[in-house]
Each structure stands twice: as structure tokens, then as C-alpha cells.
Amino acid sequence: MKDRITMGLDAGSTTSKCVILKNGETVLGSAVIGAGTGTSGPGRAVSQALSAAGIKEEQIGLRAATGYGRNRYAEEGPVLSELSAHAIAAAALFPGVRTLIDIGGQDAKVISLNERGQLVNFLMNDKCAAGTGRFLEVMARVLELSVEELAQRDAASLSPVSISSTCTVFAESEVISKLSENVQINDLVAGIHGSVASKTAGLVRRLGLKEPVGMSGGVAQNEGVVRALSRELGTEITVIPEPQLSGAYGAALYAYRKLIQNEKP
Ligand code: ADP
């Protein structure tokens, strides 16, 4: 039987991700590029994933696009919302998941799934940077850290401080003022994670917490946020494998299912 190769492109707000999938099961190649929609990011993500997979563009049976900039790729194949893409990926990679938290660069989403893995409801914060990856990027910059270093700093915190400002701009001033008072950087990082966790937990509670809970999106790579959120919600949180690739993976799987459907007489 001929292999069916599909591609999923997630043209995100801050990063572009691409996954190439064989027969809806095996990831042949993937790429994450730190430049989002409207830049060279999506194109670079596609070429990097193709070369990682060792395949040529013509071998792709169908490609699907998701993410903030998905509509730019509507002529190349089907497009699906980020909510659908993340729900498809979560249901495949964490069967039985009932609540999915997805925190990306510019928004945070909470998705409720039924026992068949279908999306039934969602809530989204896309109006305010607080509680998103952008908030963490801003805070990391103030502390002269990279986002990759935040989790380790959090783990070393002995007495986390509380960040009371809910707005990113005010929280930034608050962090600067605490820095001038000689508060330990590790404790500030733990406080920053606590702030993201409490904002996200508010969304989860409004939607209704159903267990088990999974997490996807770039921020799920930050164990400090995952731990703080798990504490705040009083439940275990399972991070979806390769969480930043989750949307692209969901799109590649969607393309595979479409391909199979189209083949049916
Ligand atoms: P989008 O799809 O909106 O572009 P992503 O889901 O790719 O967003 O998430 C981007 C966010 O993920 C960044 O703002 C950053 O906070 C966080 N992030 C990315 N890589 C890492 C990492 N290695 N460790 C911790 N956080 C990360």
C-alpha cells in the first residue's frame, strides 16, 4: 500500500510550526521557527520540516493549515481553527482528555472535550497579554532571562513573591520595583508563573473543570507554569508530547483524515 504523507502548518502569531506525518501515525519531520505569520517563518518551517523528513514537496498528499495566519494558505489545502487542531491532537495523543489548556504566544484557550474527543465548548483570552506567552516573554526580558530558563529559576525559588498587578504593563513596573528592593529573581519568576496560573485557572473554572486535564502550546514547555497551574487547580496536568507542535500535528492528522475521506468512492 502506498504511504499517505500529509503536512500540517501552524502559522502562529509568534512562531511557525510544521509537522509531516506518514499514514496519520508517524512523524517524519517537524520544525519550529521563531517567526510567525506574515514573515518568512511559515515558509522556513515548511522547508525545514521537509528536509528533516527527507521528502520532497510533491510527495505530500494533502496539507492543512491552522494558526492565526491559516487563511493565507487556503488555496493550498483545507484550513482549520487552532481550537479544532489542538483538540484533534490532544484527543489522539492523550486519549480521554476532557479539558485542554493551550497557552500560546498571544492568547490562552481552554477547551472542553467530550468522551469521544470532540470539542464541545471553549473559552479564550485573546484580548489581553496577561496570562499568555507574551507576558512571560516581557517578564523574562526584564529579568535578563530567556523563556527557556524560567522553569529552572522557578524550581529554585524558596519564597515566591506575589505579583498583584493583572495588567502586563503594570506587572512589568511591579517586577522592576521589586528588583530594586533586592527581591530574588527566582522568587519573582515563581510569582510571575503564579500570576499566569491564576489567570488561566480563572478561565478553566468559568468553563468548568473536567478531568483529566491536558496542556498544549509553547508555554506548556515551561514546567514552572504547569506546576503552578496544577497547584492552583488542584489537579494533575499532563503535557501533550511536543506541546508546541500540537496545532501543526492536529492539522497534519486532519489532512490525513480528509485524504482518506476523499479516496472513498
Ligand atoms: P503561537 O502559536 O501563538 O505563536 P506558541 O504556542 O508557539 O504560540 O507559544 C509561544 C510561547 O511559548 C512563547 O511566547 C513563549 O512564552 C513560550 N515558549 C516557547 N518555547 C519555550 C521553551 N522552550 N520554554 C518555555 N517557554 C517557551
Give 132-184 as a DSSP string: SHHHHHHHHHHTT--GGGHHHHHHT-SSPPP----SHHHHHHHHHHHHHTT--
User: pLDDT band at 128, cuts 50/70/90?
Assistant: confident
pTM: 0.95
pLDDT of 231 strictly over 90: yes
217 lines ligand 1 (CB under 6 A): yes
For residue 212, say if its preceding peptide bond is cis, omega within 30 degrees of 0: yes
- Ligand 1 site, residue 77, Cβ cutoff 6 A: no
**Does the CB atom of residue 218 touch ligand 1 within 6 A?**
yes
User: Is the CB of 200 inside a 6 Å radius of any atom of ligand 1?
Assistant: no
Per DSSP, the chain holds a count of helices (H) and strands (E) of 8, 9
Nearest CA to ligand 1 atom 7: 218
For residue 133, the CA-to-ligand 1 centroid distance in Å is 6
- Asked if the model's pLDDT at residue 70 lies above 80, the reply is yes
- The confidence band for 165, taking pLDDT boundaries of 50, 70 and 90, is confident
Q: What pLDDT, on the 0 to 100 scale, is given for residue 197?
A: 96
Please give the distance, rounded to the nearest whole angstrom, from the Cα atom of residue 138 to the centre of ligand 1: 12
Q: Extract long-range pairs of 155-161: CB within 8 Å, 24+ residues apart.
A: 155/223, 155/224, 156/186, 157/184, 157/186, 157/187, 157/189, 157/190, 158/184, 158/186, 158/187, 159/184, 159/187, 160/187, 160/190, 160/191, 160/194, 161/187, 161/188, 161/190, 161/191
Which strand (E) or helix (H) includes residue 238? strand 237-239
Matching residue, cell 517586577? 175
Pick from 89, 49, 136: nearest CA to 252: 89
pLDDT at 10: 97
Indicate if the pLDDT at residue 251 is higher than 90.
yes
